[in-house]
Structure 1
Amino acid sequence: MRIALLGTAYPFRGGLATFNERLATELLAQGHQVQLFTFTVQYPDWLFPGKTQYRTGPPPPLPIVRVLHALNPLTWRKTGHAIAAFQPELVLTKFWLPFMAPALGSTLRMAQKRYPSLLRLAILDNVVPHEARPADRLLTRYFIGAVEGAVAMSRTVEEDWRAYTSKPVQRLFHPIYDSYGAPLPREEACKALGLDPAYRYFLFFGLIRPYKGLDLLLEAWKAPVLQAQTHLRLLIAGELYEPLDRYAALLQAPENQGRVFFHEGFVPDEKVPLYFSAADAVVQPYRSATQSGVTQIAYHFLRPMVVTRTGGLPEMVPHGEAGFVCDPDPVALTYALVEMAQTPVERFQPALEQLRNAWSWSAFVHKLLEFASSLQGAHTVPK
Structure 2
Amino acid sequence: MKIVIVGPLPPYRGGIAHSNYILCRNIAKGNDLTAISFSRLYPKSLYPGKFQEIGAPPEYGFKVESILDAINPLNWIMVSLKIRELNPEQVTLQWWHTFFTPAYFTIAVMAKLLTKAKVSMVVHNALPHESSFLHRILTRIMFSQADFFVALSASDVENIKALKKGAKAGFLQEPAYSDYFAGGNDAKNGLKHRVLFFGFVREYKGLHYLIDAMPAILKELPGMKLDIVGEFWKDKGEYLAQISGLGIGSSVNVIDRYVRDEEVGDIFSGADAVILPYVSSTHTAVVQLAAGFGLPVISTDVGGNRDVIESGKNGILVKPKDSMAIADAVVKFYKKGLWKEFRQEMKSKAGVLGWNREKEAVFFNTK
> Is the TM-score greater than 0.5?
yes
Matches of 1:271 and 1:350 in 2, distance apart? 23
Counterpart Cα distance in 2 of 1:364 and 1:293: 20
Which of 232, 244, 269 aligns to 1:240? It is: 232
1:104 maps to which residue?
104
User: 2:48 — aligned with what?
Assistant: 49
Report how many aligned residue pairs link the two structures.
362
CA contact (8 A) 1:175 1:364 kept: no
| From 289, 298, 313, the counterpart of 1:306 | 298
Alignment-derived partner of residue 80 in structure 1: 80
**Per-residue deviation, 1:160:** 0.6
State whether structure 2 residue 207 is matched by structure 1 residue 208.
Answer: no
Q: Which amino acid aligns with 1:103?
A: A
Q: Partner letter of residue 200 of structure 1?
A: H
Distance 1:222 1:70, change over 3 A: same
Q: Is the 8 A contact 1:207 1:238 kept in 2?
A: yes
The TM-score normalised by the length of structure 1 is 0.90
The answer to whether the 8 Å contact 1:9/1:64 transfers is: no
The one-letter code sitting in structure 1 at the alignment partner of 2:348 is: Q
Match status 1:331 vs 2:324: yes
Q: Which residue of 1 aligns with 2:118?
A: 119
Query: 1:58-77 deviations in whole A, cap 9, x for unaligned?
Result: 43233211221111111111
Letter in 1 for 2:281: A
Tell me whether 1:321 sits opposite 2:313 in the alignment.
yes
Q: 1:98 offset after TM fit, Å?
A: 1.1
Q: TM-score, normalised by structure 2?
A: 0.93
CA contact (8 A) 2:196 2:229 kept: yes
Q: Show CA shifts across 1:47-101 (max 9, x none).
A: 0000100011243233211221111111111111111211111122111011111
Matches of 2:319 and 2:251 in 1, distance apart?
Answer: 23
Gapped runs of 5+ residues in structure 1?
190-196, 375-383
Give the conservation status (yes or no) of the 8 Å contact 2:177–2:288.
yes
Superposition deviation, residue 367 in structure 1 = 2.9
Q: CA deviation at 1:351?
A: 2.5
Aligned equivalents of 1:38 and 1:283: distance in 2?
32
Whether the aligned pair in 1 keeps the contact of 2:27 and 2:360 (CA below 8 Å) is no
Q: What is the letter of the counterpart of residue 219 of structure 1? A: D
Give the distance between the partners of 2:12 and 2:125, measured in 1 at CA.
20
> 1:212–1:286: 8 Å Cα contact kept in structure 2?
yes
Q: In structure 1, what is the Cα distance between the partners aligned to 2:210 and 2:275?
A: 8
The residue that corresponds to 2:185 in the other structure is 184
Matched AA of 1:180:
F
How far did residue 254 of structure 1 move? 4.6
**Secondary structure in structure 1 of the residue aligned to 2:108:** helix
Kindly report the root-mean-square deviation, in angstroms, between the aligned alpha carbons of the 2 structures: 1.8
Per-residue displacement from partner, 1:155-193 (whole Å, max 9, x unpaired)?
Answer: 210111111111211122122112113342244x9xxxx
* Other-structure match for 1:192: none
- The residue number in structure 2 matching 1:347 is 341
Query: For the residues of structure 2 that align with 1:79 and 1:230, how far apart are their CA atoms?
Result: 57
Question: For residues 142 and 245 of structure 2, what CA distance do their matches in structure 1 show?
Answer: 45
Code of the aligned partner of 1:21:
Y
Query: Bigger shift: 3-12 or 346-355?
Result: 346-355
Runs of 4+ that moved beyond 6 A: none
- The amino acid across from 1:203 in the alignment is L
What SS does the aligned partner of 2:44 have?
coil
Q: CA deviation at 1:251?
A: 2.1
Query: What letter matches 2:253 in structure 1?
Result: F
Amino acid of the structure 2 residue aligned with 1:113: L
SS, match of residue 55 in structure 1: coil
Name the structure 2 match of 1:380: none
| Separation of aligned partners in 1, 2:191 and 2:139 | 49
Does 1:23 pair with 2:23? yes
CA distance in 2, matches of 1:167, 1:159: 10
Measured after TM superposition, the shift of residue 219 of structure 1 is 0.6
Matched, 1:368 2:367: no
Q: Write out aligned runs for 1:121-200 (5 A).
A: 121-133=120-132, 135-165=134-164, 166-178=166-178, 179-187=180-188, 199-200=192-193
Conserved in 2, the CA contact under 8 Å of 1:174 and 1:291? no
Distance across 2 between alignment mates of 1:72 and 1:186:
50
Instruction: Using the TM superposition, give the Cα deviation of residue 20 of structure 1 relative to its aligned residue in structure 2, in angstroms.
Output: 1.2
